A and B are shown apart, each in its own frame.
Chain A
């Protein structure tokens, strides 16, 4: 996927002017937040579970090599195959190779952000393999030729009437006069169209929410059941997952699952939680004959031991973006790559370089709401600040900001000089703004006065007045 994060400001401007998008974003602001608040309040041990979840992942990350080896052994012992992919390109090549071995022409896909990260769909299409997204949201954006704008609600930027138009455009074999007024009719239509695709598919590709080291099991959570059909009906199941998805035991998974859906959609549990261990055994009534896991690094191992390691605890619930005022304002596409919102603002620079995605960790008010709802207690604002530090030390901070900051810091470090200078400046500004009490324009403050007035200072600084009061006393 082409990264457009360097154009974040322009992307944001476009998004702010996009009326249908703004309408759709209203749903994020309301629904997700209320549901999470309700679900977390209903579980007295919710915050303790968050602590546990954090500790489980911290432990894994401290011993990731050992757990990865243990996991891979268990997968092989169950008759599955493990492929190690250092880069996105490696992962694409491995998957294409499996497709070729199986003479695959169509693959169905469960929802997977990792396959977005490696740009799998475009790559398969270029090599004459047709990927079919089976998650409703993913299916919609595939029809629209778009990418997800949210990690758990990929089509959250699309309104119902737009989906209706897309279905009429693509499902030309259906009666043009059919009624698609109700959302349920859209759902039924997608379900009927997709049902055929499951049977045609040669390979089913899914992501994984967790990989269990103890058993060699991959776990997916879905609400539509599409993941189960994707991985059970075709003869081959390919799991694509990044290395930090490992958890040690079944017990660990069940603890983290208790915070995942509550944080994401406000459900106690997702409708389907599916555990897959190896291919179909003789005693199994159904399942794939062949089971592959592609383990992707793509820069993650270099985050280990760095100030960004905590980011690898992320379980992709989306709570951070659901609660982010910047995400609410501009939506997910403005961020310009796979992962939007606060988690994207930390992860994208780690995976794609801060030189390309420097806007992302800067475009935050540091309101801290993301961290306050993160089930894994990831200190997102702190890590965004670490990216700003890296930019500053590498001279990537824009020159005007750097110059302004330098001038300010010069005075801020010299109280006597600072107070003399500000006393004079505030006296002038105070007099100029005295009658109106504010300025509607101000040199060098265009960023402020473009949209709001600048309240005028009262005139005499506090320090100047205090000095007088002390002399008088």
Chain B
């Protein structure tokens, strides 16, 4: 892994102004990575350690609270948000391998505490330190290439929250271009939703199925061997549909490829 400024990252959002020589990162694992695909968490740890970070994983974390937030349950969301903020105080950065969860932490926590000035202030300080993994590597740590190898053609889906809440689009492509042996083949409408939408996909399965069906068609058109994205929810949705359709396209989180950790079976794939 090379970095334009590994020891002196542009820490615009860091409190205190001084850039720690070895940034201390708290990994927000995300519930789906914790439960379904721990390898993504270890890939994230490797990428950040390689870039000169000290990575810790606070035990007092479960989920970012989106299921409650998007179901209109403000009280439970607020309780979860408060405990996440508490668990991650004392880190230079909070990084999540998901645009959706990072977006929740960075963009929505503050609005939960409109009526609580003290908590709101803490939420604002917290939000300023939150980043999604890939954009953290490129935009904060200045990482410009990775030391990884992957034989095959990949296509990349832009997950909605990462794209539209956090502006993540060029960053993963930039790093993927430095993976040895990997060729990127863009799909049509890579910025269109895959139909996951959290609880949406089980509340409105017929509509979700129609949307993911359109998505898998555009994925298949690329002729790619592997589908990559930065959000496990979207990935599980698309992997589940691709498997049901019987296609051989593998599905992986982009961090696995960037970290060169693709020895485990792909998402939804069995033991080889």
Contacts and interface: CB of A to CB of B under 8 A. Distances in A.
Interface of A: 9, 12-13, 16, 325-326, 328-330, 362-369, 371-372, 385, 387-393, 397, 401, 405, 408-409, 411-413, 415-416, 418-419, 422, 425-426, 434-438, 440, 445, 447-448, 450-458, 460-463, 465-467
B204 A9 contact: yes
Contact of A461 (B35, B74, B271): B35
Contacts of A445: 202
A412 B202 contact: no
Interface string B15-54: 0000000000000010101111111011000000000000
Interface residues of B, number: 71
Given A367-B193, A455-B36, A457-B35, A435 B270 contact: yes
A451 B241 contact: yes
Question: Which residue of A329, A397, A401 has the most chain B CB atoms within 10 A of its CB atom?
Answer: A329
Contacts of B42: 462, 465
Nearest to B39: A458
Nearest to B199: A401
Nearest to A466: B57
A416 B58 CA distance: 12
Question: Which residue of B36, B65, B161 has the most chain A CB atoms within 10 A of its CB atom?
Answer: B36
B27 to A, nearest CB: 9
Contact of A368 (B33, B165, B268): B165
B201 interface: yes
B265 interface: yes
A440 B73 CA distance: 31
A420 to B, nearest CB: 12
7 contacts: A9-B204, A365-B211, A366-B197, A368-B165, A437-B270, A437-B271, A458-B36
A409 B65 CA distance: 8
Interface stretch (B1-9, B76-84, B221-229): B76-84
A409 B70 CA distance: 13
A463 B160 contact: no
Interface of B is mostly: helix
A451 B70 contact: no
A456 B38 CA distance: 12
Contact of A463 (B59, B191, B270): B59
B193 to A, nearest CB: 4
Given A367-B164, A426-B35, A462-B41, A451 B205 contact: yes
B95 to A, nearest CB: 14
Contact of B240 (A365, A455, A461): A455
Contact of A363 (B35, B164, B200, B243): B200
Given A369-B192, A385-B72, A412-B80, A325 B211 contact: yes
Contacts of A9: 204, 206
B36 A457 contact: yes
A457 B36 CA distance: 4
Given A12-B207, A434-B271, A413 B83 contact: yes
Nearest to A405: B71
B160 A367 contact: yes
Nearest to B159: A367
B244 A455 contact: no
B239 interface: yes
Given A409-B76, A455-B240, A447 B36 contact: no
Contacts of A325: 192-193, 195, 211, 214
Contacts of B41: 462, 466
Contacts of B210: 16, 329-330
Contacts of A466: 41, 57
A453 B244 contact: yes
A13 B210 CA distance: 10
A466 B195 CA distance: 32
Contact of A364 (B200, B241, B270): B200
B196 interface: yes
A452 B70 contact: no
Given A369-B191, A451-B205, A463-B29, 14 more contacts: A362-B203, A363-B203, A367-B197, A389-B72, A389-B74, A397-B71, A415-B59, A415-B62, A437-B268, A448-B205, A452-B209, A452-B237, A453-B240, A458-B37
B200 A462 contact: no
Interface in B117-143: none
A313 B42 CA distance: 46
Contacts of A13: 206
Contact of A366 (B61, B70, B271): B70
B153 to A, nearest CB: 22
Contact of B72 (A330, A391, A419, A465): A391
Interface string B74-100: 101001100100000000000000000
A458 B195 CA distance: 24
Given A408-B67, A448-B205, A368 B267 contact: no
A249 to B, nearest CB: 33
Contacts of B269: 437-438
A455 B214 CA distance: 20
Contacts of A405: 67-68, 71, 73, 76
CB-based closest 4 A-B pairs: A365-B197, A452-B240, A447-B202, A392-B72
Given A447-B201, A448-B201, A369 B160 contact: yes
Contacts of A326: 204, 207, 211
A368 B164 contact: yes
Contact of B243 (A369, A419, A438, A447): A438
B160 A436 contact: no
B63 interface: yes
